[in-house]
Amino acid sequence: EAGVAQSPRYKIIEKRQSVAFWCNPISGHATLYWYQQILGQGPKLLIQFQNNGVVDDSQLPKDRFSAERLKGVDSTLKIQPAKLEDSAVYLCASSSLAVEQFFGPGTRLTVL
Amino acid sequence: DQQVKQNSPSLSVQEGRISILNCDYTNSMFDYFLWYKKYPAEGPTFLISISSIKDKNEDGRFTVFLNKSAKHLSLHIVPSQPGDSAVYFCAASARQNFVFGPGTRLSVLP
* pLDDT number for residue B1: 65
**Amino acid residing at B60:** G
Instruction: Please check the confidence at residue A98 and state whether its pLDDT lies above 80.
Output: no
Element (H, E) at A110: strand A107-111
* pLDDT number for residue A21: 97
Instruction: Please check the confidence at residue B20 and state whether its pLDDT lies above 80.
Output: yes
* pLDDT number for residue B34: 95
3-class secondary structure per residue, chain B: CCCEECCCCEEEEECCCCEEEEEEECCCCCCEEEEEEECCCCCCEEEEEEECCCCEEEECCEEEEEECCCCEEEEEECCCCHHHCEEEEEEEEECCEEEECCCEEEEEEC
The percentage of residues in chain A with a pLDDT greater than 90, rounded to a whole number, is: 85
Q: Is A79 on the interface with B (CB under 8 A)?
A: no
**Amino acid residing at B35:** W
Q: Is A71 helix (H, G, I), strand (E, B) or coil?
A: helix
* pLDDT number for residue B41: 87
B98 vs A contacts (CB less than 8 Å): 33, 45, 101
Instruction: Please check the confidence at residue A97 and state whether its pLDDT lies above 80.
Output: no
Q: Is A93 on the interface with B (CB under 8 A)?
A: yes
Dihedral sign of CA atoms A71, A72, A74, A80 in order: positive
Order across the sheet with B56-59: list the strands.
B4-5, B19-25, B72-77, B62-67, B56-59
* pLDDT number for residue B94: 86
Dihedral sign of CA atoms A43, B105, A99, A28 in order: positive
Instruction: Please check the confidence at residue B99 and state whether its pLDDT lies above 70.
Output: yes
* pLDDT number for residue A1: 63
A35 vs B contacts (CB less than 8 Å): 100
Distance separating alpha carbons of residues B95 and B52, to the nearest angstrom: 13
Would you put residue B93 in left (φ > 0), alpha (ψ -120 to 50) or beta?
beta
Instruction: Please check the confidence at residue A70 and state whether its pLDDT lies above 90.
Output: no
B64-93 pLDDT per residue, tens: 999 999 999 999 999 999 999 999 999 999
Q: Averaged over B42-63, what is the pLDDT?
A: 96
Q: Averaged over B40-51, what is the pLDDT?
A: 93
Distance separating alpha carbons of residues B1 and A84, to the nearest angstrom: 23
To the nearest whole angstrom, how far is the Cα of B19 from the nearest Cα of chain A?
Answer: 20
To the nearest whole angstrom, how far is the Cα of B70 from the nearest Cα of chain A?
Answer: 22
Instruction: Please check the confidence at residue A80 and state whether its pLDDT lies above 70.
Output: yes
A3-39 pLDDT per residue, tens: 999 999 999 999 999 999 999 999 999 999 999 999 9
- Across the interface, whether the CB atoms of B89 and A40 are under 8 A apart is answered no
